[in-house]
Amino acid sequence: MKSLKTLVIAAALSLGAVGAGHAQAPATPAEAPVATAPANPAPAAADAATTAAAPAGDATYVPMKPTPGVGQPVDAGIDFQPQVSPVGEQAYWFNHVILLPVITIITLLVLGLLLWVVFRYRAKANPVPSKTTHNTFIEIIWTAIPVLILAVIAVPSIRLLAQQYEPPSKEALTIKVTGYQWYWGYAYPDQGIGEYVSKILPKDKAEAAGEPYHLAVDNRMVVPVGRQVKLIITGADVIHSFAVPAFWTKMDAVPGRANETTFTANKVGVYYGQCSELCGVDHGYMPIAVEVLPVDKWEAWVRSKGGNPAGVEAAPAAAAPAPAADAPAAAPAAAPAATTTEAAPAAAPAAAPATKN
Ligand SMILES: [Cu+2]
Kindly tell me if the per-residue pLDDT of 3 is higher than 70. no
Higher pLDDT, 27 or 125: 125
Distance 214 CA to ligand 1 centre (A): 13
Give SS3 for 236: coil
Return d(Cα 351, Cα 175) in angstroms, integer: 11
Kind of pairing between the strands at 259-264 and 228-235: antiparallel
Distance 278 CA to ligand 1 centre (A): 6
- For residue 133, how far is its CA from the centre of ligand 1 (angstroms)? 55
Q: Is the pLDDT of residue 124 over 70?
A: yes
Mean pLDDT of 258-266: 95
Residue 5, pLDDT score: 53
CA of 253 to the centre of ligand 1 (A): 8
- Mean pLDDT over residues 271-298, rounded? 95
SS3 content of the chain, % helix, strand, coil (to 5): 40, 20, 45
Please tell me the distance from the alpha carbon of residue 72 to that of residue 245, in angstroms, as a whole number. Answer: 8
Average pLDDT over residues 134-156: 93
Residues 80-92: tens digit of each pLDDT: 999 999 999 999 9
| pLDDT bracket for residue 313 (50, 70, 90) | low
Q: Find the 263 Cα to ligand 1 centroid distance in Å.
A: 20
Q: Is 179 inside any structural domain? A: yes
Average pLDDT over residues 69-75: 91
**Ligand 1 centre distance from Cα of residue 341 (Å):** 23
> In degrees rounded to 5, what are phi and psi of residue 297?
-70, -35
The answer to the question of residue 54 being in a domain is no
| Distance in Å, CA 255 to ligand 1 centroid | 12
- Measure the CA–CA gap between 193 and 204, rounded to whole angstroms: 29
Looking up residue 116, the CATH number of its domain turns out to be 2.60.40.420
pLDDT of 351 reads 43
| 3 state DSSP class of 11 | helix
Tell me what the mean pLDDT of segment 6-25 comes to: 44
Asked if residue 17 belongs to a domain, the reply is: no
Ligand 1: centre distance to CA 172 (Å): 26
AA identity, residue 201: L
Strand ranges for the chain from DSSP E: 173-180, 183-188, 193-198, 221-224, 228-235, 240-244, 249-253, 259-264, 269-275, 287-293
Q: Are 259 and 202 in contact (CB under 8 A)?
A: no
Residue percentage of the chain with pLDDT more than 90: 60
Residue 96 within any structural domain of the chain? yes
In a domain, 22, yes or no: no
- Give a yes or no: residue 321 inside a domain: no
What is the reported pLDDT for 149? 93
Residue 205 gets the label, from left (phi > 0), alpha (psi -120 to 50) or beta, of alpha
Q: Is residue 346 part of a domain?
A: no
How far is the C-alpha of 335 from the C-alpha of 258, rounded, in Å? 26
Tell which wins on pLDDT, 123 or 19: 123
Per the structure, the count of domains in the chain is 1
* pLDDT over threshold 90, residue 148: yes
CA 60 to centroid of ligand 1, rounded, Å: 32
Name the average pLDDT for the chain: 79
Closest of 294, 348, 333 to residue 191, by C-alpha = 333
182 Cα to the center of ligand 1, angstroms: 6
- 159-214 confidence digits (pLDDT tens): 999 999 899 999 999 999 999 999 999 999 999 999 999 999 999 999 999 999 99
Cα–Cα dist 289/140, whole Å:
52
122 CA → ligand 1 middle, Å? 55
Q: What is the pLDDT of residue 59?
A: 63
- Ligand 1 mean position to 241 CA, how many Å? 6
Ligand 1 centroid from CA 104, angstroms: 36
More confident: 108 or 325? 108
Task: Say how many Å lie between the CA of residue 283 and the centre of ligand 1.
Answer: 5
Cβ 282 vs Cβ 181: under 8 Å: yes
Q: Could you tell me the distance, in angstroms and rounded to a whole number, from the CA of residue 289 to the centre of ligand 1?
A: 14
Q: Which residue has the higher pLDDT, 51 or 298?
A: 298
Question: What mean pLDDT is predicted for residues 105-110?
Answer: 94
Average pLDDT over residues 221-234: 96
CA 173 / ligand 1 centre spacing (Å) = 24
Q: Is the pLDDT of residue 306 over 80?
A: yes
The tens digit of pLDDT for each residue in 24-69 reads: 333 333 333 433 444 444 444 444 434 344 444 456 788 889 988 8
Cα-Cα-Cα-Cα dihedral sign, residues 171, 52, 295, 71? negative
137, amino acid identity: F
Q: How far apart are CA 338 and CA 309, in angstroms?
A: 14
pLDDT at 17: 43
Q: How far is the CA of 168 from the centre of ligand 1 (A)?
A: 25
Flag whether 1 is in a domain. no
CA 180 – ligand 1 centroid, Å: 7
Check pLDDT > 50 for residue 245: yes
Predicted confidence at residue 247, as pLDDT, reads: 96
Domain extent for 245: 66-123+138-311
Q: Which pLDDT score is estimated for 104?
A: 96
Ligand 1 centre to CA of 131 (Å) is: 59
**How far does the centroid of ligand 1 lie from the alpha carbon of residue 272, in Å?**
15
pLDDT at 318: 46
